[in-house]
Amino acid sequence: MLKIKRGSLVCMGRRSIKGQGLVLDRIQDINEYADFDLSEAFYKLYDMNHPEYFWKSDRSRAPILYGERIDLKSGIRDTILSKNPDIDRALLDEFWSYNRAYSCLKGGSKVLKPKTDFCLVWWTKAPSEYTPMAVSGFKGKSLYHHTKMLKSL
């Protein structure tokens, strides 16, 4: 298997329609790129077993945590962008979105190591979302994806 790097031709390896795209940029460690420990912040926001979990003292507030988490993530993003305005906001949003969906299991009682390796891909042929139809919103757009989701062509 070829290593994915800037300029690589890639597809979504696990999709019905794999698509085809060109890697415009690869961020191998978002923590280093952002000069902020996003992995630790993720644990503090979502891992109920973390010693510094934000809501450890009051777990009964689960219904209102969603809004508070959004506010905290926005604050973290704004802090990072104020230190370095060249950082891509879409990358930060993809970090939170991807890891919330795939690293936080059982409502936070089990949290996997957050993924920090992402690629910016410009899609020439759109992949599917695990269905037999390609996603029209991908074609001709540049989107960030976790690198392990991609397969080099």
SS3 content of the chain, % helix, strand, coil (to 5): 40, 20, 40
Is 89's pLDDT higher than 80?
A: yes
**What is the reported pLDDT for 107?**
67
Q: pLDDT digit string (tens) for 109-148?
A: 788 899 999 999 999 999 998 788 888 888 888 999 999 9
Cβ proximity of 44 and 52 under 8 Å = yes
**What is the reported pLDDT for 65?**
72
**Where does the pLDDT of residue 87 fall: very low under 50, low under 70, confident under 90, or very high at 90 and above?**
very high
- Across the chain, what does the average pLDDT equal? 87
List the chain domain ranges: 1-28+117-153, 30-114
Q: pLDDT digit string (tens) for 17-45?
A: 999 999 999 999 999 999 999 999 998 88
For 53, the token pair is: 């979990």
Look-up of token digits 């139809």: 133
Amino acid code (one letter) for 81: L
Provide mean pLDDT across the span 60-67.
66
Element (H, E) at 23: strand 20-27
Look-up of token digits 């973290």: 76
Amino acid code (one letter) for 120: L
**What is the reported pLDDT for 63?**
59
Which of 51-55, 88-92, 98-102, 121-125 is least confident? 51-55
Amino acid code (one letter) for 133: M
Cβ proximity of 87 and 81 under 8 Å = yes
Give dist(CA 15, CA 128) in Å, integer.
6
**What is the reported pLDDT for 75?**
92
Give residue 103's Cα distance to chain centre: 10
**pTM assigned to the model:** 0.87
